[in-house]
Amino acid sequence: MLKVGRLADYGILILHHLGRVRPARLSMDTLAELTHVPLPTVRKLMRLLAEADLVVSKRGPLGGYELARSPQQISLADAITAIEGRPALTACASDRGHCELAGHCELAGRWPGVNALILQVLERTSLQDLGAGGSLHVPPPLLREPLCPEPPGRK
């Protein structure tokens, strides 16, 4: 658990490849071959990525997909959210999906905090950061100041 699901994993891999050839275009067929991801799965993925405006599609011969923005401007959070929805560690940290224990649970108001924390990590790590050969450092300003997305929280 606390994994990201193969779809998202594959999706990010695809985005990575699209980034490497930018601004060229790649067809689903090529992508499947390039990434060794089964073609039908690529289909499903590209639809999601296109809906989230991370890639732009072109139909017909010479068509294919192109990265919508620069690899630096696409975060892992963007990709993951596009494919499997906004990350939410617990039910009470999610928009949809209610927890029946929420009423009695003393932690119900506390989880969104940590959730936001890991969200930030994902948001501040770009495709570029992931793909580059160098050491992957996250911008310093991360988490310096106390971070409390929830007001006093005592409902």
Site string for DNA, 80-119 (x = CB under 7 A): ----x-----------------------------------
Supply the minimum distance, in Å, between the C-beta of residue 72 and DNA.
24
Q: How far apart, in whole angstroms, are the C-alpha atoms of residue 122 and residue 90?
A: 17
User: Looking at beta carbons only, is 64 or 112 nearer to DNA?
Assistant: 64
Q: How far apart, in whole angstroms, are the C-alpha atoms of residue 19 and residue 40?
A: 21
Contact between 91 and ligand SF4 by CB under 6 A: the answer reads yes
Contact between 46 and DNA by CB under 7 A: the answer reads yes
Contact between 5 and DNA by CB under 7 A: the answer reads yes
What lies within 8 Å, CB to CB, of 107 at 6+ separation is: 92
User: Looking at beta carbons only, is 24 or 107 nearer to ligand SF4?
Assistant: 107
Q: How far apart, in whole angstroms, are the C-alpha atoms of residue 126 and residue 69?
A: 11
Q: How far apart, in whole angstroms, are the C-alpha atoms of residue 71 and residue 33?
A: 22
User: Looking at beta carbons only, is 65 or 111 nearer to ligand SF4?
Assistant: 111
Supply the minimum distance, in Å, between the C-beta of residue 60 and its own copies.
29
> How far lies 93's CA from each of 2, 25, 49, 71, 122, in Å?
14, 38, 24, 28, 16
DSSP state of 112: H
Contact between 106 and its own copies by CB under 8 A: the answer reads yes
Tokens describing residue 26: 């790649």
Q: Among its own copies, ligand SF4, DNA, none, what does residue 63 contact (CB within 5–8 Å per kind)? A: DNA
Contact between 76 and ligand SF4 by CB under 6 A: the answer reads no
Contact between 19 and DNA by CB under 7 A: the answer reads no
